[in-house]
Amino acid sequence: MSKQMDSRSTQATGGSYANPGFVHSSDGYSDSPRSTPSENHDKMPATKKKRRFRVAKKKVDKEALKKEMDMDEHKVPIEELATRLRSDLVRGLTSDFAEQRLMEDGPNTLSPPKTIPEWVKFLKQMFLGFAVLLWAGAVLCFVAYGVQFSQSDHPPGDNLYLGIVLVAVVVLTGSFSYYQEAASSKVMESFKKLVPQSAVVIRDAVKRDIPAEELVVGDVIEVKFGDRMPADVRITYAQGFKVDNSSLTGESEPLPRTPECTHQNPLETKNLAFFSTNVVEGVGRGIVIATADRTVMGRIANLASDTDTSSTTMSREMQFFVNIIIVASIIMGIVFLIALLALGYGFFVAFIFLIGIIMGNVPEGLLSTVTVILTLTAKRMAKKNCLVKALECVETLGSTTVICSDKTGTLTQNRMTVAHAWYDNHIYEMDTSDTQQANVYNGDSQTWKALSRVALLCNRAEFKRGQESVPIMKRETSGDASESAILKYTEVVCGNVQLLRSQNKKICEIPFNSTNKYQVSIHELAESPGRYVLVMKGAPERILDRCSTILIKGEEVPLTEDWQNAFQKAYEDLGGLGERVLGFSDYLLPPGQFPPGFNFDVENPNFPLTGLRFCGLMSLIDPPRPAVPGAVAKCRGAGIKVIMVTGDHPVTAKAIAKSVGIISPGHETREDIAKRRNIPLEDVRASDAKAIVVTGSDLKDLSEKELDHILSYYNEIVFARTSPQQKLIIVEGCQRLDNIVAVTGDGVNDSPALKKSNIGIAMGITGSDVSKQAADMILLDDNFASIVTGVEEGRLIFENLKKTVAYTVTHIADETLPFLIFIFLKVPLPLGTICVLWIDLGTDIIPAITLAYERPESDIMLRMPRDRKKETLVTGKLLGLTIFQVGIVESLSGIFTYFVIYGQFGFRPDKIIGLRDIWSDSSISNLEDSYGQEWTFAQRRLIEITGYTGYLAGVVVTQWINIMMCKTRRNSIIEQGLVNYPLMLGLSVETAVLILLAYLPGMANTLNFAPLHWSWILCPTPSALAILFYAEIRKLIARVYPDGFVAREALF
């Protein structure tokens, strides 16, 4: 074969070897002249020592990477290209010149991107977002303790303990978040796996193996079945040469490569093969036109690694919440500091109060609660085949307004299947399910028997061994997708294909090639020993041209014009469904001309290839997944636009879009309207169409404004024949219109769009490693329906997080009001610092976490996606309701309990107001109560910590009811029910913690808690019932008047 290739190449080029004029820029292909190498380059030593490449580092122009490649290497005559590249198509480059070019261009490897050190990632988890607030609180606690220590020999340790606990909370939650997301950004490592290790190159007219990284532009290389393309190559010779571009385009159908230019678009032409694609058939030779980052794959790699990722909606909203808390805390603290100084308090005392006010505004347990809730939801989603890599992305999926979905393997099953058959002038629809048990065909028809015989014999696909117990449609095969589909189909309807083939032994074969577009094989005929049958399969029009008769209901009749018209109609009908159509024919070779043992010659065929008998058509399609239409309909009901973005043919893409509901029944494109009205396309107004199919070539000519118009005007959109750069442009267009965009993909080509989207979703089964690393979420079952499940879970997590925040921030009032009455009424402190810590991290954190298990309200997938500007996680309505309404009631119930306790010890309210300074004076041992009894400092201290405990009990009891109120935002608690068993367990734990704090021996001396009389726990009951009654009335009014004032202003 080598000699044959050499001779052909010599004829084409005449052994040309001249100066080049081609340079590779870092952003793609360019026609600017390459600097001419030194005339003495032949004297340069071809050393094998470690090279120092003279390659200037250029800043990656992301806008240039997004543009389509502007190149002519596939269009210019091969002699001109060889001259431009200073190469010889027979002898290749000289070793010395190749060495010099390697020094100039650098190795044929992808450039690694800048990476963030792991310690920086860890510190970000520790010191960004909500963690900053907790660190600030911890520092203030330590400062407060230092002030107290400087003023007293025995300062209370409350602030010290609180500071230590806050540091522990930040470190633990930060470490946990870092662990969860440690492996979420390794895109380029996966690209490295695509790089072949070696290449067969011709240099100095000698064929040799070299490391693939030493390839340079102008090298002549040879590749064969099983190889991976080591660079972008212009094909100069091909024999049965096919490549699998799935790593580049996502489409798995093998594509033939030939020396002829067949398309202006370099990604569509057949005379280019691209770096990292696999050779699945035949052999080929070509000249390298691009290496390393200048290849198509290199452009995608740079585009993926340099694409800026969007911050998640959750991170932005948590930062917004932190900013609110910081500003409110500082303003409130400064106001009270000024007020205290005006009232005559010393600076150090006022500063301690300032810290208390600020700490009362910090929900210390919220960071841990949110982290745990996101983790629990991520684990629940994993059980539903959605693996979340970044915790905050769980909620982003629920906010999604647009889903840009790939077709192959996501909307479809990623397996070619026989969908229809045409024979006896009738189209039969086949079962495309996993079992194919519902196939409809006339098994008694002689035409059908002949058609199925051709289908199973003229087929090179085979089942891999050891799969007898595996269902037929799930068996692995060796062969391309179309032949494998026909193999499985005939195995189902005809029985044991391997046995039938052995009974009809293959004598010879002419494989399919892109020139003839047919495949022929000759077999011994089992039913007529000593006779041969010729079977042919291929492009329908080519097969029909070679036939003179057609088989109709078992009778061979002349192929008249009427039958040709019937064929053409069936062909167009099946092609219009987006299906790949194949024609089948046979010919019973006359035994007189072709006796047993006849020597068939496939190089110079000595058997007829015309005058055959046409048997029928079979059409194949990658069928939609059964659950997808329902999932698309559910997305529509939830206000989510589903856009198909695929590299497949527009006809196929539109057919699948219609079958899954992306294009609704009865909705037409401009092309459909023009065809129905039989008028030119230009006469159809764009406003008449409710759907649109945009091809990559159309998209290339669209301005940014025109693309935005299409994305905003049409609700049903299909993008077909798109390039990786165009997928990225589509995502950016959707984001310009203020959409939250989810993108699905499985190929390397999808990685830039996956990374740019608000949430990238990769396929777990068919997805490449690159796409999985670029994505935020992985579908373990490759099913679009799982995305809808994820959307529902995302909406649910936002609902439950909002409920958690509403439940948690109530403590701001609970923990601030006691300090206010302590300052302004001068009463003994109602709430100690340790007690604040137990409210946030002890009694309430577990019930808050259990809200993650709350089931969705009934209308969660019937609402429009939330308005991110108005319906944020934390709103003014939420803070007003929780802090200034519910929180005030809870605080008052705790204060009421506090006054009841003091009253039963003998200190009525009129006595303790203004008593603070005397109460705290340890030198006073005979303080009289309202009834004349005297109390020592130690006894007063016991009353004070009993007051702490009573206040905590008041908060806990009202929080029991508050969390019931937070179970729903609109529905009644009666309708929602109490089926959240983890929540019931959480309330039990909260109650148990309160009991242990109050009644465990030694608590008074360690944590400042004391036993309570049972009657004191009943004190907050009226307030709790008032909270419940108020919530139910408010929600009832909102449901009855959904557009009324209460619904607008009183629902969080």
DSSP, collapsed to helix, strand or coil, labels residue 797 as helix
8-state DSSP, 412: B
Residues 6+ apart with CB under 8 A from 915: 826, 827, 828, 907
Task: Show the tokens assigned to 175.
Answer: 């470490």
∠ CA(690), CA(691), CA(693), 5° rounding?
A: 155
∠ CA(134), CA(139), CA(145), 5° rounding?
A: 125
Q: What is the DSSP string of 818-844?
A: HHHHHHHS-PPPSS-HHHHHHIIIIIS
β-strand partners of 794: none
Q: Which among 88, 293, 406, 814 is annotated as catalytic?
A: 406
Closest to 241 in 3D by CA, of 185, 177, 285? 285
- Identify whether 406 is a catalytic site residue: yes
The amino acid occupying position 604 is N
Distance, in Å, from the CA atom of 919 to the CA atom of 745, rounded to the nearest integer, reads 69
- Is 505 within 8 Å of 521 (Cβ atoms)? no
- Is 1024 within 8 Å of 896 (Cβ atoms)? no
Closest to 422 in 3D by CA, of 374, 455, 387? 455
Please report which helix (H) or strand (E) contains residue 509, including its range: strand 506-510
8-state DSSP, 866: P
- Is 975 within 8 Å of 857 (Cβ atoms)? no
Distance, in Å, from the CA atom of 960 to the CA atom of 44, rounded to the nearest integer, reads 84
β-strand partners of 547: 612
Q: What is the DSSP string of 372-386?
A: HHHHHHHHHHHHTTE
Distance, in Å, from the CA atom of 188 to the CA atom of 339, rounded to the nearest integer, reads 59
Task: Show the tokens assigned to 152.
Answer: 């007293």
Q: What is the DSSP string of 295-355?
A: SHHHHHHHHHHHSPPPPPHHHHHHHHHHHHHHHHHHHHHHHHHHHHHHTT--HHHHHHHHH
Please report which helix (H) or strand (E) contains residue 752, including its range: helix 751-756
Task: Show the tokens assigned to 294.
Answer: 């200048």
310-344 burial: b if 16+ Cβ within 10 Å, else e: bebbbbebbeebbeebbeebeebbeebbeebeeee
Q: Are strands 232-244 and 255-256 parallel, antiparallel or unpaired?
A: antiparallel
Q: Are strands 547-552 and 612-621 parallel, antiparallel or unpaired?
A: parallel
Please report which helix (H) or strand (E) contains residue 549, including its range: strand 547-552
Q: Are strands 580-588 and 198-203 parallel, antiparallel or unpaired?
A: unpaired
DSSP, collapsed to helix, strand or coil, labels residue 624 as strand
- Separation in Å, CA 268 to CA 201, 246, 289, 697, 958: 26, 14, 16, 11, 68
8-state DSSP, 267: T
Task: Show the tokens assigned to 28.
Answer: 């793609």
DSSP, collapsed to helix, strand or coil, labels residue 1044 as coil
Q: What is the DSSP string of 976-987?
A: H-S--HHHHHHH
Task: Show the tokens assigned to 667.
Answer: 């909705």
- Is 455 within 8 Å of 521 (Cβ atoms)? no
Closest to 793 in 3D by CA, of 370, 318, 372, 377? 377
8-state DSSP, 34: P
Distance, in Å, from the CA atom of 817 to the CA atom of 337, rounded to the nearest integer, reads 15
8-state DSSP, 431: P
**Residue carrying the six token digits 């058939």:** 281
Active-site annotation, residues: 406
